[in-house]
């Protein structure tokens, strides 16, 4: 059993912290910007809560974090009452936020100055993966720190691996989001095309799902997409945040992402339709909305 803190109890962080307590058997203290949510978590899982990130981190062996973006991450780490001000020497900070590689490198250096370790460890698997404890965790940092933290990370993971030095976890997550963007657009177009061609959509999916076109998106989202139901998983607003990071990083590195840039604009159209909180499979809505104009 380790002494663990978890900062950020959103749709991902809330169950992840729960797995650290129940499955991992750790002593867990949580912090959330809305104290009532931290109190609810503590009552549900039998842990404790703190009033600030600094207080949550004090005395902990491992501090996990899952917040919104780079600025949120800086605020809860190096900002006033941030967790880094409470880290004990030798502590390992594991950041599960999807953020930039730049902020990962910045916080790695800040942690080192305090005699601590930092691992950028964004996750994939969505809300269901977090709730079921089967997330994929892509890590960047020092091998010694990763090897020590892996058994704790695995409390909520089906896979956790070291992708390389600091920032490599975030860069790998960008590859993940780039793939998803293209896959969802392709599946949206296929379902839309099948409808327009008066095909039986379930029969089409049954025919193609066992071949080269198969994907997680197809297996888990084709039916709700065909019905126009988008209340599942990862929100469009968050996907645009992630794709923005991908496109900025591509510009910095000289990578070319023409499809990703196009799909990002398609998601902007979904936002304009009022779909900010729809899940990412809602790309099909802009195709079908165009038919109604």
Alpha-carbon distance of 192 to 136, in angstroms, equals: 30
Q: Which of 104, 247, 97, 238 has its CA nearest to residue 168?
A: 104
The answer for residues whose C-beta is within 8 angstroms of residue 148's C-beta and 6 or more apart is 92
Contact of 28 with 4, CB cutoff 8 Å: yes
Q: Which tokens belong to 65?
A: 């974090």
Alpha-carbon distance of 216 to 239, in angstroms, equals: 17
Taking every pair of Cα atoms in the chain, the longest distance, rounded to a whole number of angstroms, is 65
Burial 113-145 (b: 16+ CB within 10 A, else e): ebebbbbbbbbbbbbebbbebebbbbbbbbeeb
Active-site annotation holds for 173: yes
Q: Point out which residues pair with 117 in neighbouring strands.
A: 92
Q: Which tokens belong to 124?
A: 């994939």
Return the residue matching tokens 């004090």.
58
Q: Which of 173, 195, 248, 292 is catalytic?
A: 173
202 DSSP 8-state letter: H
Task: List, by residue number, the catalytic residues.
Answer: 173
């Amino acid at each position: 059993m380790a002494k663990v803190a978890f900062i950020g109890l959103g749709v991902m962080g809330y169950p992840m912290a729960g797995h650290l307590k129940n499955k991992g058997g750790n002593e867990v203290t949580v912090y959330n910007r809305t104290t009532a949510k931290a109190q609810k978590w503590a009552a549900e899982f039998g842990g404790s809560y703190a009033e600030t990130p600094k207080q949550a981190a004090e005395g902990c062996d491992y501090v996990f974090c899952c917040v919104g973006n780079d600025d949120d991450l800086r605020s809860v780490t190096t900002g006033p009452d941030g967790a880094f001000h409470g880290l004990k020497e030798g502590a390992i900070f594991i950041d599960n936020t999807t953020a930039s590689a730049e902020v990962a490198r910045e916080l790695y250096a800040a942690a080192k100055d305090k005699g601590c370790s930092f691992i950028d460890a964004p996750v994939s698997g969505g809300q269901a993966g977090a709730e079921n404890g089967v997330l994929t965790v892509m890590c960047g940092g020092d091998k010694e720190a990763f090897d020590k933290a892996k058994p704790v990370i695995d409390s909520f993971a089906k896979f956790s691996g070291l992708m390389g030095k600091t920032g490599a976890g975030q860069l790998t997550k960008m590859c993940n989001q780039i793939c998803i963007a293209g896959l969802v657009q392709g599946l949206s177009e296929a379902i839309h095309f099948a409808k327009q061609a008066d095909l039986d959509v379930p029969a089409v999916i049954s025919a193609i799902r066992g071949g080269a076109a198969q994907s997680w998106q197809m297996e888990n989202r084709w039916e709700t997409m065909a019905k126009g139901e988008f209340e599942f998983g990862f929100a469009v607003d968050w996907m645009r945040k992630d794709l923005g990071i991908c496109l900025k990083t591509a510009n910095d590195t000289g990578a070319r992402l023409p499809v990703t840039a196009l799909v990002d604009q398609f998601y902007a159209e979904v936002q304009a339709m009022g779909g900010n909180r729809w899940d990412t499979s809602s790309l099909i809505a802009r195709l079908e909305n165009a038919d109604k104009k």
